Structure 1
């Protein structure tokens, strides 16, 4: 697949900061009907991703669920990111290697453009 991910418009996304309550991330995910929310620091740099799987893992293993937890305590910290020139094939390979369903799409300046989901790539 030689087509760049920019050919398949990324899903518009909401973002959240590491300090916000994890329950707010869960509300954003549910309200937006997306499977993940990028986590940005105060400079706008993507520092992680909180996904449905992250939320479910905490709820299933912690008696208090998300109560009292910040996003930084439930997010995946080493979020893989891609650039607009990344090919769809390379994005799919990265998703498969790391067992991911969502990849933050960042520009050359490191700023978030959107989120590319597995469904976006399969449609594109």
Structure 2
């Protein structure tokens, strides 16, 4: 299965915030959208960084509550790994595991932000694939036994 299949099923919508958004506002955006990360983008298309719940927690632990007034650009990950729609989800899962992150923006062939994929999306696909395989094997065993 390809990343484009995930994007097709979940949609291309990506929540973004400008780099000057304060962390307190970011927390509201995360809560309202029930998500764990947002892409930091000045225009909704280009990627300046990504900021996740983990980034917020680490910044709070290091600098205290004053971080809530800082811009997200102060806590974001600027070196963002991205993927392309044509890549296989095995590549995505491996990159997420090795890099120890849970969200990866998808960049279209034209270079624009095409979506975002989470480790939850990957797990959901894997479970579906295993269920289909189980059902196929069960059917095979039942038909072979008769």
Instruction: State which of 2, 5, 17 in structure 2 corresponds to 1:4.
Output: 2
Measure how far apart 1:61 and its partner are.
2.0
Instruction: In structure 2, list runs of 5 or more residues that go unmatched.
Output: 126-146
Aligned residue pairs total 122
Q: Which has the higher contact order (CA 8 A, sep 6+)?
A: 1
Contact 1:4/1:87 (CA < 8 Å) preserved in 2?
yes
TM-score under structure 1 normalisation? Answer: 0.89
* Number of the residue aligned with 1:55: 56
CA RMSD in angstroms comes to 1.6
Measure how far apart 1:63 and its partner are.
2.5
The SS at the match of 1:91 is: helix
Distance 2:60 2:52 in 1: 13
Instruction: In structure 1, list runs of 5 or more residues that go unmatched.
Output: none
Distance 1:70 1:102 in 2: 21
> Segments of 4+ in structure 1 off by > 3 A?
none
Matches within 5 A, 1:1-124: 3-9=1-7, 10=10, 12-42=13-43, 44-124=45-125
Contact 1:58/1:65 (CA < 8 Å) preserved in 2?
no
- Given the superposition, is the C-alpha separation of residues 101 and 71 from structure 1 closer, same or farther in structure 2, using an over 3 Å criterion? same
Distance 1:51 1:90 in 2: 21
- Given the superposition, is the C-alpha separation of residues 102 and 43 from structure 1 closer, same or farther in structure 2, using an over 3 Å criterion? closer
Q: Which has the larger radius of gyration?
A: 2
Deviates more, 1:92-101 or 1:23-32: 23-32
1:31-51 C-alpha deviation (Å, 9 max, x unpaired): 111110001134731121000
- Given the superposition, is the C-alpha separation of residues 28 and 13 from structure 1 closer, same or farther in structure 2, using an over 3 Å criterion? same
Structure whose residues are more often helix by fraction:
2
